[in-house]
A and B are shown apart, each in its own frame.
Chain A
C-alpha cells in the first residue's frame, strides 16, 4: 500500500527536479566575461571596497561606534560581491570574435613532426 501510494509523489518530485535543472541550465547561459570585462570587474572591485572602507571608517569614527564601521564595510563587501562576481552582461560588451570552424579548416595547421615516436622507437 505504502509503496504504491508513494510512487506518484516520487515521479512528481523527479519532474520538478528535471524542470529546475533545465532552469539552471538556462541561467548559466550568461556568457563569461571578456578581457575588458575582467579588467573592469577587478578595478570595480578594488575601488568599491576602498570606497566602502573609507566611508565605513569615517562613519564609525564620527558616530563613535566600532560596530557601525564593521557593518558598513560588511554591507559594502556584500554589494561588491553582487556587482563584480557574477557574469553580468555588461562585463561582456567586447566579446572575442572567433573564426568559424569552416574558415579555420581552410587554413590547416602544420602537422607536428613525429619526433617523439621516433625516439621511443630507437630506444627500444
Chain B
C-alpha cells in the first residue's frame, strides 16, 4: 500500500471481487421468487389439414394465446423466451414436440399479453398420424437472468383433437 499504483490495484481487485459476490447474491435472491404464471390457448379454427406429397401430415390452424407471465420477472431478469408446443405420441416416437409459436418478452410490462395468430412455424408430423390425433398444447418458457443460471418451466394445457378427415 506504499504507492499510488499498489493502492489503485488493491482497490480495483477488491471492488471487482465484491461485485462478483453481489452478482452471486442477486442470483441467489431469484430463488425466493415463487412464480405463478397463467396461460390459456384456444384453437379457433383448422384452416387446412392435408397430406403432403411426401406422405407427411400438415395442419394450419388459428390460435388465440393469452398468458400472464409477470410473476416470472424479478430484479435480476433480463428477458423471458416463451414458446408454444404441440405435444403428442405416435407409434414411432414416444414424444413429438412441435413449436407452433414463440416470442421474446423483454420486460415485465410486456409479460401480460394475448395474441391472435395462425401457427408461426409449420405443424408437420413425421409420418401420417395426425388424423383424429389428440395433442396437448404446452407453453414452455426460459427465464434469462442478468446474472446466474437460466430457469425453464412449462404449463401443460388441455389438448385438442384434430378432425378425422383432411380438409
Contacts and interface: CB of A to CB of B under 8 A. Distances in A.
Contact of B4 (A39, A57, A87): A87
B75 A60 contact: yes
A85 B22 contact: no
B155 interface: no
Interface in A71-93: 73, 77, 80-81, 84-87
B146 interface: yes
Nearest to A86: B4
B7 A84 contact: yes
Q: Is the interface of B mostly helix, strand, loop or mixed?
A: helix
Given A46-B14, A50-B18, A69-B22, A32 B75 contact: no
Contact of B3 (A32, A46, A61, A77): A32
B46 interface: no
B2 interface: yes
Nearest to B16: A77
Given A49-B14, A49-B15, A53-B21, A38 B1 contact: yes
Interface string B1-44: 11110011011001100110110011001000000000000000
- Max chain A C-beta neighbours (<10 A), residue from B1, B74, B146: B1
Q: Which 3 A-B pairs have the closest CB atoms?
A: A38-B1, A64-B75, A53-B18
Interface of B: 1-4, 7-8, 10-11, 14-15, 18-19, 21-22, 25-26, 29, 74-76, 146
27 contacts: A32-B2, A33-B1, A33-B2, A38-B1, A38-B2, A45-B10, A49-B14, A50-B18, A53-B18, A53-B19, A56-B22, A57-B22, A57-B25, A63-B75, A66-B26, A66-B75, A66-B146, A69-B22, A69-B26, A73-B15, A73-B18, A73-B22, A80-B15, A81-B11, A85-B8, A86-B4, A87-B4
